Structure 1
């Protein structure tokens, strides 16, 4: 896993210098994003068979999680063409057979039930849950990477847990009762 993460980091920095894929411009900033992506894995109850990352961007958290969880099939949804191209390139370069990249918006793809949904800094929680509702069943875990103000987005939601690491809040929701 470490070799793949190092190659991902190297290629991301190369592509980022030309295509501006992410705000992470140094090896340390990329490593911080990798650590942020991996941190909440310790709180998952089980290994999902099928996972969906909404708005994968340059690979955080979805591509990093796909590297760390090779037994899980990951669907990475990214509408921006240059970022989706980078994800396709990395998928091929790292031989990530467990990854499908979809260069579209989440509302434009055919829904399929998944065990885990992840997303980082895409949109407010309720809006994201609404867009993802057709991918969620009663057993789906939803893991959202949020900031310090996450509780302001949870007015009518009661079934959740928040884990904290520095300024990051990892919001865990479970199943259909969240929408």
Structure 2
């Protein structure tokens, strides 16, 4: 199935994820806040605003449905969250889960804090800063939506994971290529799942089993 319209997006949220009217209303409020703020700062591409439920909300929500194994509980880390996708959507859909969203741009994080407050998302922690500067902490789930090429992303953020951490990385049409180009020194279980909102796009899903050994060391 591919979600191609706003009506299909709303339908999918109700039938597949089974979200209740209160959560749907909260997501509707998020969409309204995004439209308002996008007039002040370029949070998302202007052309996607006509399809905000498909391109941003369901595109984020599908990460709860895509893994072939059960999604682990525990804290979720969303790197380079930008406009809060998928972080704010995940937090709205799973209020029992702590979600940490990170972005290096002050205007973005200021807005994320205001949006989380407006939506009463007490489970959201907003961090302004570069990934390289974050305090090391292990997370259960790590997401990054078009944040950085896979090799660089893993290099700067592998320290936040263990083999039990699930990575969910929307990568667009380049997902298979990025995975194929990943250095063989990374030990992982990554594979590519097709995106629900774009048949040409892929999501890299899996776990990181180990970091590359320095050159010259024996296995």
TM-score by length of 2: 0.76
CA RMSD of aligned residues (A): 1.7
Distance 2:111 2:72 in 1: 26
Distance 1:110 1:21 in 2: 26
Moved more, 77-86 or 148-157: 148-157
Distance 2:96 2:47 in 1: 30
Query: What is the CA-CA distance between 1:121 and the residue it aligns to?
Result: 0.5
* Alignment partner of 1:29 is 2:62: no
Aligned residues between the structures? 179
Q: Which runs of 5+ in 1 are unaligned?
A: none
Q: Is the 8 A contact 2:174 2:201 kept in 1?
A: no
* Alignment partner of 1:159 is 2:192: no
Query: What is the CA-CA distance between 1:24 and the residue it aligns to?
Result: 4.2
Q: Is the 8 A contact 1:160 1:173 kept in 2?
A: yes
Query: What is the CA-CA distance between 1:178 and the residue it aligns to?
Result: 6.5
Query: What is the CA-CA distance between 1:82 and the residue it aligns to?
Result: 1.1
Query: What is the CA-CA distance between 1:35 and the residue it aligns to?
Result: 1.1
Query: What is the CA-CA distance between 1:27 and the residue it aligns to?
Result: 4.7
TM-score by length of 1: 0.92
* Structure with the greater alpha carbon radius of gyration: 2
Query: What is the CA-CA distance between 1:76 and the residue it aligns to?
Result: 0.2
Q: Which residue of 2 aligns with 1:63?
A: 88
List 4+ stretches of structure 1 deviating above 4 A.
24-27
